[in-house]
Amino acid sequence: GQKALGETTVILVRATAAGTETLKNLVLPGIGHILVVDDVKNFEGSRYSNFFSSEINDTAKSRAQVVMELLRELNPDVNGTFKHVHSLTNMDFTKLILEVKNPLVISADLEYPLLMQLSKVCAKNNVPMISVQAYGLIGSVRLQSPPVPIVEPKPDNSTPDLRLVTPFPKLAVFCEAVNLEALDDRQHGHVPYPVILYQFAQRWKKDHDRKLPSTFQEKQDFRAMIKKSARKVDLELNFIEAMNNSYLAYTERTVDRDNIQRLLHKASGKFEILLQALLIFLDSHDGAAPLHGSLPDMTASTQEYVQLQTLYRDQAIQDVKELLSNCYTHAGITEEDVGIFAQNVNTLDLIQVRSLEQEYECPPTAKIVEDLQSITWDPYEVTEHTPLLWYCGLRACHHFYSKVGRYPGTCEKSWGKDVELLQSSLVQVVNDLKLSETKLIQQTLLAPGNKFAKELARYGNAEIHTIASIVGGVASQEAVKLITSQYVPLNN
Amino acid sequence: MATECPSEGEPMDIDLPKRGSLLTLLSRPSPFASESGALPMGEFEPLSTMNNEENKLSEIEIFSSIKVLVVGAGGLGCEVLKDLAMSGISNVEVIDLDNIDVTNLNRQFLFRHKDIGASKSKVAAQFINKRCPWMKVVAHHGMIQDKPSSFYASFNCIISGLDNVEARRWLNATVCGLVQCDGDGDPDPSTIIPIIDGGTEGFSGQARVILPRITSCFECSLDAFPPQRNFPLCTIAETPRRPEHCIAYVSILLWPKEFPDRKLNTDSPEDMKWIYDKALERANKYNITGVTYMVTMGVVKNIIPAVASTNAIVAAACVNEAVKLLTFCSQTLNTYMMYMGSSWHSGVYSHTFVYERKEKCVVCASTTREMHIDEKKSLNQLIQELKDGDLRLKSPSITTGSGVTLYMQKPPALESATRPNLDKTLSSLISSGEELTVTDPILESISLTIVVTFQSNNLAPQAPLISLREKGNIAA
């Protein structure tokens, strides 16, 4: 993870507060390189809202330079360069992103035409881009990325992979070797529960035509069987653990081979190689997945626990080695990569992210319209707080910009007059999203003299630091997820 | 077309487009101003200065009579100070008892390598005052409990970025204790000081608004913070299986044997290294792998690794609330926002809701509590109950309603004088239905009234419980 961070260059396009706050949170944990691109020479006005351009600039340095230097000061291990340009509109974005290794673009508070221009270049070149915007008291974070493989989601809870139903040979031998009846009371109370479950599963199979418990009644009976054989059921914690986890004796996680096949069709690069290798593994192991290898803590003697833990760990290592040898090429794939992949085979996924171009310039798909409409049937408790309304509002501001050449409410003396024009932008956006017939929209955004147009005009594209900081926090966190391929990123 | 500010020299009578600022929001009316929300703090009056050349106020002047206290100068505190500076609030005081450690540097961004060992509050204040010359941050190095309530009463708003429950409870009780009520029992608004409390743990965090005596307070939510993780003693002593068990063995059993007069200092690198070395020794003896210095720190300090972005988000949310509270420019958070940055389901998740007041909250609801207890129990057992039960007191002192001191933890003279009472049965000290007044260092300025009624119980069923407790758990 740390290594991936160190190999990435983050390109910030426009050094507004939202952008610099995003960068700050990437510089602190050690991003490799920052490149600050900015088009503002005189930045007195943002002194009070941008922490990285707030010192008085005597030396006539550009904002790009000041920001880059102050960010680097947080962590001198980070490399930094800057580019001040007169105007971002004519910039060759393709050249910009292709000049660096492993780029990730942060676009900050870019006006609509520029944002579209940049996002198209990033999409075409498969460079991930996170767009941030701080707009008055609202803000937005939008990810645009080539398909994101989910390999290490780190879910909070997961069932242990004890493999008791189809044990690997060494596990079966270990479990069978324990003679429960012959143990003294102390030893009896310290047998690890997987062993207990294994033995009782075998006993059950003998009496039930080699089948494991499957009906509700059978599962109850199985538990009762375990309870009966405990010598002091209230004090033998291992038997209590066995009863609480009895389902592990007859259920085992399986990998959905069809899902893997489906992912394989869409995957590329390392992910594709690993998926292929997994299919080969599944086919040669009768559908059984590589062993996860970790053993949860449980009541047991130290010796038996460590022995059992070693068995699981060794088998998992063996499975990883086999998986690695299945890869048709080892280019860029380490044993560590395979190890992480193997432990997460049940949660593999590939997230497709729609581009900004698709969002803003193409009519929404039927599915999207359906999703948006269903949101309108279930608004927030305080209706006006429903995010969808503010999303439409922000898009209306972009629409206003593309028509008028500036944001609504930005001319001090005539700011109130923009409300009407903004309202017509709102109507347009709502129509484009096919939401104008929904009750929620009619009661809010389409109501005459509604609060939304007034509030959005009020904002006048204000740069409020706290909003910029929140947006910068979320964006940087998502950037880290993308760079380190851990957790599940926002879609989108 | 640029939406950035025009250069200084240009005349303002040309209505050029310009990017707005906080001042913009404060000078324009809003349909979503404070009074329109569920928690109205006041009526918003837009400044009428923007159109008036001569009286062009800056944010600084608007907040010139406001004073804000920041509690904690760590991960959240640094962010809060920056956000306050960027909001133009110049009169800020910050309090923290800690010094800067090398492990702080990757997110407490006001500190540098050269600052290691120095006071967090002082270095933080210096940095902000230098970077933002309009700021007048005053630092206090010390414990929050060492400040009198009059100190807290001098602020318009308190933002807390503490990292432990006990300190939060103290702060909450103290600030709630400042509220005066009139004859009808209604709180006097001028004595209500809002606390905005933020907390983070890894990718998750929360920001909440506490208006003492109006919304729920921190004590109302005490149940949501479980007491520290326990390992069974027998596992630690006899059958360790995991690195955590080895570490707990050394910090809980070995340390007091080796250093009977010294409490383990979790902030001392020498102490921590000793723990780590011994834990590694024990782990090797049992063939247990996984003891690292980091895991050792985690177990002993009970910490979860911090993430810079979560601190940024929560701190900014808190300061945002502060600005809204102080200016009425928009609706106030009602009252609790939780944030999860690593949601498996949707990537990022947030939820805002009203945290309801707890009916019998000892801090913000002035009710008497009832306790039913066996008369044969000793005073010490009652005190134990106050500590281990849901009140979670630290070291309670008790006087009867008629003013007889049953047990006082301090001063030492009074403690030794009342100590013999600890072993006496309750029936010999008080009568059933008697009112007792309890005070505790955690809830310093609040005293509890407890009505104790005796109920006769068979002692026998209780015995196994007690012995199991003595045999079993001890805090990690």
* pLDDT one-digit tens code per residue, B53-106: 444 557 678 899 999 999 999 999 999 999 999 999 999 999 999 999 888 888
Cα distance between residue A445 and residue A435, in whole Å: 10
pLDDT at residue A417 greater than cutoff 60: yes
Cα distance between residue B279 and residue B299, in whole Å: 11
Q: Which residue has the tokens 């281990």?
A: B388
Q: Are B355 and B209 in contact (CB under 8 A)?
A: no
Q: Is B294 in the A-facing interface, judged by CB distances under 8 Å?
A: no
Residue B31 pLDDT level (bands cut at 50, 70, 90)? very high
Residue B230 pLDDT level (bands cut at 50, 70, 90)? low
Average pLDDT, chain B: 84
The active-site residue, picked from B234, B246, B318, B364, is: B234
Which of B51, B230, B309 should one mutate to test binding to chain A, selecting the residue with the greatest count of A CBs within 10 A?
B309
Can you read off the two tokens belonging to residue A12? 């910030």
Instruction: Give chain A positions within 8 Å (CB) of B5.
Output: 42-46
Can you read off the two tokens belonging to residue B376? 């044969």
pLDDT at residue A193 greater than cutoff 90: yes
Cα distance between residue B19 and residue B25, in whole Å: 12
Q: Are B452 and B406 in contact (CB under 8 A)?
A: no
Q: Is B132 a catalytic residue?
A: no
DSSP assignment of A119-153: HHHHHHTT--EEEEEEETTEEEEEEE-S-EEES--
Backbone angles phi, psi at A466, to 5 degrees: -60, -40
If you average pLDDT over residues A58-87, what whole number do you get? Answer: 91
CB atoms within 10 A of CB A289: 22
Cα distance between residue A401 and residue A113, in whole Å: 9
Question: Which of helix, strand or coil describes residue B138?
Answer: strand
Nearest CA in chain A to B349: A490
pLDDT at residue B460 greater than cutoff 70: no
Q: Is A421 in the B-facing interface, judged by CB distances under 8 Å?
A: no
Helix axes A418-432, A451-459, angle to 10 degrees: 120
Return the pLDDT at A375. Answer: 86
Question: Which of helix, strand or coil describes residue A91?
Answer: coil
Q: Which residue has the tokens 């965090």?
A: B205
CB atoms within 10 A of CB A287: 12
If you average pLDDT over residues B297-317, what whole number do you get? Answer: 84
Can you read off the two tokens belonging to residue B187? 């709180």
Q: Is B465 in the A-facing interface, judged by CB distances under 8 Å?
A: no
Q: Is A414 in the B-facing interface, judged by CB distances under 8 Å?
A: yes
Read off the pLDDT of residues B409-455 as tens digits, 9 standing for 90 and up: 988 999 999 999 999 998 888 888 888 999 999 888 788 888 888 88
Residue A253 pLDDT level (bands cut at 50, 70, 90)? confident
Q: Are A16 and B19 in contact (CB under 8 A)?
A: no
Beta bridge partners of A490: none
Return the pLDDT at B303. Answer: 61
Can you read off the two tokens belonging to residue B166? 């006990």
Read off the pLDDT of residues A160-177 as tens digits, 9 standing for 90 and up: 999 999 999 999 999 999
Cα distance between residue B328 and residue A492, in whole Å: 33
Return the pLDDT at B57. Answer: 59
Can you read off the two tokens belonging to residue A229? 């054989």
pLDDT at residue B9 greater than cutoff 80: no
If you average pLDDT over residues A421-444, what whole number do you get? Answer: 92
pLDDT at residue B392 greater than cutoff 50: yes
Cα distance between residue A9 and residue A115, in whole Å: 20
Cross-chain Cβ contact A463/B242 below 8 Å = no
Cross-chain Cβ contact B3/A411 below 8 Å = no
Read off the pLDDT of residues B171-229 as tens digits, 9 standing for 90 and up: 999 999 899 888 777 888 899 999 999 999 888 999 999 999 899 999 999 888 766 55
Cα distance between residue A105 and residue A119, in whole Å: 9
Q: Is B312 in the A-facing interface, judged by CB distances under 8 Å?
A: yes
Q: Are B52 and B46 in contact (CB under 8 A)?
A: no
Contacts of B450 (CB under 8 A, 6+ apart): B368, B369, B370, B371, B435, B436, B437, B438
Q: Is A462 in the B-facing interface, judged by CB distances under 8 Å?
A: yes
Q: Are B181 and B169 in contact (CB under 8 A)?
A: no
Residue type, A156: D
Q: Which residue has the tokens 């969808």?
A: A388
Cα distance between residue B423 and residue A463, in whole Å: 65
Return the pLDDT at A233. Answer: 76
Q: Are B325 and B89 in contact (CB under 8 A)?
A: no
Residue A372 pLDDT level (bands cut at 50, 70, 90)? confident
Instruction: Give chain A positions within 8 Å (CB) of B20.
Output: 136, 409-410, 459-463
Return the pLDDT at B234. Answer: 72
Report which secondary-structure segment, H or E, holds B321: helix B308-327
Residue type, B456: S
Instruction: Give chain A positions within 8 Å (CB) of B85.
Output: 51, 54
Return the pLDDT at B1. Answer: 37
Closest CA relative to residue B350, chosen from A385, A332, A156, A374: A385
Of the partner residues B20, B240, B347, the one whose CB lies closest to the CB of residue A460 = B20
Residue type, A262: R
The interface residues of chain A toward chain B in range 227-266, judged by CB-CB distance below 8 A, are none
If you average pLDDT over residues B253-268, what whole number do you get? Answer: 82
pLDDT at residue A384 greater than cutoff 60: yes
Return the pLDDT at B4. Answer: 44
Cross-chain Cβ contact B19/A74 below 8 Å = no
Helix/strand/coil percent split, chain A, to 5: 55, 10, 35
Nearest CA in chain A to B324: A137
Query: How wide is the angle at C-alpha A102 spanned by C-alphas A97 and A108, nearest 5°?
Result: 55
Can you read off the two tokens belonging to residue A455? 């509030």
Can you read off the two tokens belonging to residue B197? 């409390």
Residue type, B350: S
Residue B16 pLDDT level (bands cut at 50, 70, 90)? confident
Beta bridge partners of A165: none
Residue type, B277: D
Residue A80 pLDDT level (bands cut at 50, 70, 90)? very high
Average pLDDT, chain A: 91
Read off the pLDDT of residues B127-161 as tens digits, 9 standing for 90 and up: 999 999 999 999 999 999 999 999 999 999 999 99
Cross-chain Cβ contact B309/A477 below 8 Å = yes
- Expressed in angstroms, the distance from the first to the final Cα of chain B is 61
Q: To the nearest whole angstrom, how far is the Cα of A215 from the nearest Cα of chain B?
A: 31
Return the pLDDT at B54. Answer: 43
Residue type, B450: I
pLDDT at residue B464 greater than cutoff 60: no
If you average pLDDT over residues A225-245, what whole number do you get? Answer: 89
Q: To the nearest whole angstrom, how far is the Cα of B84 from the nearest Cα of chain A?
A: 9
Query: How wide is the angle at C-alpha B343 spanned by C-alphas B342 and B346, nearest 5°?
Result: 125
Q: Is B107 in the A-facing interface, judged by CB distances under 8 Å?
A: yes
Return the pLDDT at A492. Answer: 65
CA-CA distances (angstroms) from residue A334 to A102, A319, A338? 19, 14, 7
Give yes or no for a cis peptide into B311 (omega within 30° of 0): no
Instruction: Provide the pairing of β-strand B68-71 with B157-160.
Output: parallel
Cross-chain Cβ contact A478/B59 below 8 Å = no
Cα distance between residue B291 and residue B296, in whole Å: 7
pLDDT at residue B463 greater than cutoff 50: no
pLDDT at residue B11 greater than cutoff 50: no
Cross-chain Cβ contact B106/A29 below 8 Å = yes
The alpha-carbon radius of gyration of chain A (Å, integer) is 29
Helix axes A269-284, A302-326, angle to 10 degrees: 110
If you average pLDDT over residues A229-249, what whole number do you get? Answer: 90
The DSSP 8-state label assigned to residue B4 in this structure reads: S
Cross-chain Cβ contact A190/B239 below 8 Å = yes
pTM: 0.86
Q: Are A289 and A346 in contact (CB under 8 A)?
A: yes
Q: Is A334 in the B-facing interface, judged by CB distances under 8 Å?
A: no
Select the more confidently predicted residue: B118 or A298.
B118
Read off the pLDDT of residues A297-328 as tens digits, 9 standing for 90 and up: 888 888 888 889 889 999 999 999 999 999 98
Residue B273 pLDDT level (bands cut at 50, 70, 90)? confident
Q: Are A232 and A184 in contact (CB under 8 A)?
A: no
Contacts of B133 (CB under 8 A, 6+ apart): A56
Cross-chain Cβ contact B19/A410 below 8 Å = yes
Helix/strand/coil percent split, chain B, to 5: 35, 20, 45
Return the pLDDT at B268. Answer: 76
Q: Is A40 in the B-facing interface, judged by CB distances under 8 Å?
A: yes
The DSSP 8-state label assigned to residue B332 in this structure reads: P
Q: To the nearest whole angstrom, how far is the Cα of A488 from the nearest Cα of chain B?
A: 5
Q: To the nearest whole angstrom, how far is the Cα of A217 from the nearest Cα of chain B?
A: 33
Q: Is B259 in the A-facing interface, judged by CB distances under 8 Å?
A: no
Read off the pLDDT of residues B325-357 as tens digits, 9 standing for 90 and up: 999 999 998 889 999 888 777 788 888 989 998
Residue type, B409: Q
Q: Which residue has the tokens 């193997």?
A: A342
